[in-house]
Structure 1
């Protein structure tokens, strides 16, 4: 039988992120908490924390134990609420990290299969790769969604799953594009909104312009696809982006796709760790 007293001690330390604070809340000594957690680790057969400097970080098994502890104690609260005619739901957690610059439409399309599930709660965190990869490695997110796969070496712990490749197009308002569909004329005659160099397909666009001996008039370089969408919609210029970014605007006619750029694609991928205890919702989304 699982010792729920040991589990609650572990849960308090994991929740507070600090042994001293948990001991104060539980009104017990730090040594007592440490002993209880060691007994729980022995019973489960896995370390639940690892020490990083002066702090404690959950291991993969620790994060799973913490998720289940949240459910267990939430279920206890739900019992009390149910008998007092209150309502409450208990849901499993899928933590998704996404580059802050990534298309929101793509993020939603990835998560849509579980968005309406009664058994899954999704937590989305946005940030840079420098912020998200450490979160993945310490099991604070289950997956990172990116539009440019980072360089990998023998020391890299994550795996990249290619989810989709989208063609990149020139997009603008119907008034600006008119009946013109010739790529070179569009790039030569109109101000152009481009992603910054950090976006995967920007280098391919620059190479294409060089091959064609074109010097587009760049009106804006933007690292946020949502901002590119707004600028295009406000007719600041023609935007170079994947159509998925402006799905709604293309559907309602506020923007039109003038032409595709030959050989230029944006790659969407999911970065994950190899786990002994994979999140079932993530396995479903990745088709595993």
Structure 2
């Protein structure tokens, strides 16, 4: 079993950039800290630091150990803070992973009901690739992952898919572009400047297939991983862009763009992915139930 005192000395030394600074902070001699870290290295069977000139640098094992130590001691601080508070004041912690392809407005609308339960809530949101978030979910570091699709087959990570609903797609553009595209939709998109999600987004293939089926060939001006960045380019007049119809009105008002038209043949789906088949967390229940009403 890990000696957490040894791990704490290593953690402080790594965060402070060396044993000397850790010694000053902990009021312990450098020799003591060095000896405790050596015992930890013996336990792991691998060096945590390597000497580069006069400095110490983390090895690959050291970087991995630091990432876990960060979480362990951060959780320890949170535990101490929570126990010092009365149970009535202690907020529920909801750890949510948001796949980077999920539009920010959609993510907010999906998560908002958790704050309306009448109970104190502290939400921790992490944005990353779906694969990275599912790995954290499998380690119980997240309660929920929001994604634009179910767990990919063959990923080797266990997760249970809960369909939240789906939305059609709307095309919007800055006024300067929209004025020439609001007649004869969707044929007006042929040759029009267009911004689309990049290929990491499931909508990328669906959209291109729809264009081929309609014999429409827009001028692709850019592809984006981040939908918020795509909206910013669209707002600046680089090209028209797509948004889920469920939030089209909000995007129009927020970005000062105009609606060109909407289609139902291309659908954007949204999923909640949990580590358990049956959802027991009240905040997650509120999120899923509200989403199914909104995206019905």
RMSD of Structure 2 on Structure 1 (CA): 3.9
Matched residue of 2:168: which SS?
strand
Matched residue of 1:201: which SS?
helix
Rate the CA distance shift 1:71–1:213 in 2: closer, same or farther, 3 A. closer
Aligned to 1:107: 107
Q: CA deviation at 1:156?
A: 4.6
Q: CA deviation at 1:154?
A: 10
For the 8 Å contact 1:148–1:199, the answer to whether it is kept is no
Q: CA deviation at 1:244?
A: 4.5
For the 8 Å contact 1:104–1:245, the answer to whether it is kept is no
Gaps of 5+ in 2: 13-35, 37-63, 291-296
For the 8 Å contact 1:100–1:126, the answer to whether it is kept is yes
> CA–CA distance in 2 between the matches of 1:114 and 1:195?
28
Matched residue of 2:105: which SS?
helix
Q: CA deviation at 1:167?
A: 0.7
1:78 and 2:64 are equivalent in the alignment: no
Q: CA deviation at 1:159?
A: 1.1
Q: CA deviation at 1:127?
A: 0.5
For the 8 Å contact 1:145–1:268, the answer to whether it is kept is yes
> CA–CA distance in 2 between the matches of 1:277 and 1:72?
24
TM-score normalised by structure 1 residue count: 0.68
> CA–CA distance in 2 between the matches of 1:199 and 1:215?
20
Rate the CA distance shift 1:111–1:144 in 2: closer, same or farther, 3 A. same
Q: CA deviation at 1:104?
A: 1.0
Matched residue of 1:135: which SS?
helix
Rate the CA distance shift 1:217–1:155 in 2: closer, same or farther, 3 A. closer
> CA–CA distance in 1 between the matches of 2:215 and 2:279?
53
Q: CA deviation at 1:90?
A: 2.2
Q: CA deviation at 1:252?
A: 5.8
For the 8 Å contact 1:181–1:259, the answer to whether it is kept is no
Q: CA deviation at 1:141?
A: 0.5
Matched residue of 2:289: which SS?
coil
Aligned to 2:242: 240
Aligned to 2:212: 210
Aligned to 2:182: 180
1:196 and 2:182 are equivalent in the alignment: no
Rate the CA distance shift 1:118–1:227 in 2: closer, same or farther, 3 A. same
> CA–CA distance in 1 between the matches of 2:182 and 2:226?
27
For the 8 Å contact 2:190–2:218, the answer to whether it is kept is yes
For the 8 Å contact 1:71–1:92, the answer to whether it is kept is no
For the 8 Å contact 2:168–2:266, the answer to whether it is kept is yes
Matches within 5 A, 1:128-277: 128-152=129-153, 156-178=157-179, 180-244=182-246, 247-251=249-253, 254-274=256-276
Q: CA deviation at 1:153?
A: 5.5
Matches within 5 A, 1:47-66: none
For the 8 Å contact 1:225–1:245, the answer to whether it is kept is no
Gaps of 5+ in 1: 1-12, 30-53, 80-87
Matched residue of 1:186: which SS?
helix
TM-score normalised by structure 2 residue count: 0.66
Matched residue of 1:257: which SS?
strand
Aligned to 2:44: none
Aligned to 2:121: 120
